[in-house]
Homo-oligomer: A and B are copies of this chain.
Amino acid sequence: MIFLKNDYSLGAHPQVMDALVNTNMELTDGYGEDRYCRQAAEAIRQMFGCPQAEVHFLCGGTQTNQTALAAFLLRPHWSVIAADTAHICVHETGAIEATGHKINHVATKDGKLTPEMIEEVLIFHEDEHYVLPKLVYISDSTETGLIYTKKELLALRECCDKNDLLLYIDGARMAMALTCEDNDASYRDFAELADAFYIGGTKCGALFGEALVVVNDLLKPDMRFLIKQRGGMLAKGRLLGVQFDALLKDDLYLELGRHANRMAKMLAEGLSARGYSFEIPPQTNLIFPMIPKDLEEKLSKQVMYETWPVVTPTHQCIRLVTSWGTTEEEIRNFLNLI
């Protein structure tokens, strides 16, 4: 079987695994107060150019989004604005609402939010009979494999400033966003434009774990209480520090994102060359070709992938995902199949 189903089915990149093995028999302080966590946090602050930011390490994406958003939405009537394809809207089993907060779902063309869409939500929310939108959630890259350009991020920031909104970026696939050929935003732009964001580990070479970076001073106090209360504070917190430390050394993180994107590009070009079209233009490591239905039957026996809910009488859209572990050989094998 060729595996193009997702980017979280291998373990960790060998350098990350080595770091865990090498530190295994050390005795360190618990709950993230060890030197590995401190070191990784410091590395993050430097790379992102935000010396005042707070960095916290959590176990997974849903946990990070839920904890961060619950912490930031500190008043019960505050809501989140998000694209209706956003991870928090569909694939987190209502985790945000479970903290008591509404999400204002926004229908988008391609999974990306714009200032216009945000302002349309705001106009509708007039007084105390409605929730009060307070935070804008975007994923970069998005669940549709797209990235926000620096100009688009700036426009979102401006919109947030104008309307007293916070901006939060889900960076589950930040390695792929940053290394996308079309990208002109940097580490530093993330830290400068967002009030808080997270750097995804799980899908970018770690065994597990995400690094939440809190830039806005107002959001910092007592974050550790919230993480503990929601079960996100590992007793052996250093496991996360050790991994991020390894990932960020010598730009391994970017290298892994770049590899995933390169494999996706090879895939997309191969598909294009064979005449396939795409539901969403390929940009990062998720691509969405339209596949003839008769081919799909054959494919599904030799390739692991997921379908995407776009169907025509003759074609089915599928989602192909590459990762740091995808090989050129797998791509060639796939292209030979079609």
A interface list, Cβ under 8 A from B = 3, 6, 8-12, 14, 17, 20-21, 23-31, 59-64, 66-67, 70-71, 74-77, 79, 90-95, 97-103, 105, 124, 128-132, 202-203, 207-208, 222, 224-236, 239, 309, 325
Of B31, B71, B132, which one neighbours A225 at CB under 8 angstroms?
Answer: B132
Of B74, B103, B226, B231, which one neighbours A231 at CB under 8 angstroms?
Answer: B231
Tell me if A93 and B236 are in contact (CB < 8 A): no
Of B11, B20, B228, which one neighbours A23 at CB under 8 angstroms?
Answer: B11
Enumerate 11 A-B pairs (CB-CB under 8 Å) in ascending A order.
A11-B20, A12-B24, A31-B129, A70-B76, A76-B226, A92-B229, A100-B100, A128-B227, A131-B225, A202-B235, A203-B235
A203 to chain B, nearest CB (A): 8
Tell me if B92 and A228 are in contact (CB < 8 A): yes
Which residues of B lie under 8 Å from residue A232 when comparing CB positions?
63, 231
Of B9, B24, B97, B208, which one neighbours A28 at CB under 8 angstroms?
Answer: B9
Tell me if B231 and A67 are in contact (CB < 8 A): yes
A94 to chain B, nearest CB (A): 4
Copies in the complex: 4
Which residues of B lie under 8 Å from residue A14 when comparing CB positions?
24
Tell me if A207 and B3 are in contact (CB < 8 A): no
Tell me if A59 and B62 are in contact (CB < 8 A): no
Tell me if B129 and A91 are in contact (CB < 8 A): yes
A-B pairs, 7 with minimum CB distance: A63-B231, A11-B24, A77-B225, A93-B229, A94-B131, A94-B102, A8-B235
Tell me if B239 and A207 are in contact (CB < 8 A): yes
C-alpha spacing A208/B234, complex, angstroms: 8
A264 to chain B, nearest CB (A): 17
C-alpha spacing A99/B23, complex, angstroms: 36
Tell me if A230 and B100 are in contact (CB < 8 A): no
Tell me if A24 and B30 are in contact (CB < 8 A): no
Of B3, B12, B226, which one neighbours A77 at CB under 8 angstroms?
Answer: B226
A6 to chain B, nearest CB (A): 7
Q: Closest residue to A225 on the B side, CB-wise?
A: B77
Tell me if A229 and B132 are in contact (CB < 8 A): no
Tell me if A128 and B235 are in contact (CB < 8 A): no
Tell me if A233 and B9 are in contact (CB < 8 A): no
A214 to chain B, nearest CB (A): 14
C-alpha spacing A131/B17, complex, angstroms: 34
C-alpha spacing A23/B97, complex, angstroms: 36
Tell me if A236 and B129 are in contact (CB < 8 A): no
A94-B101, A131-B94 known; A231 and B25 CB under 8 Å? Answer: no
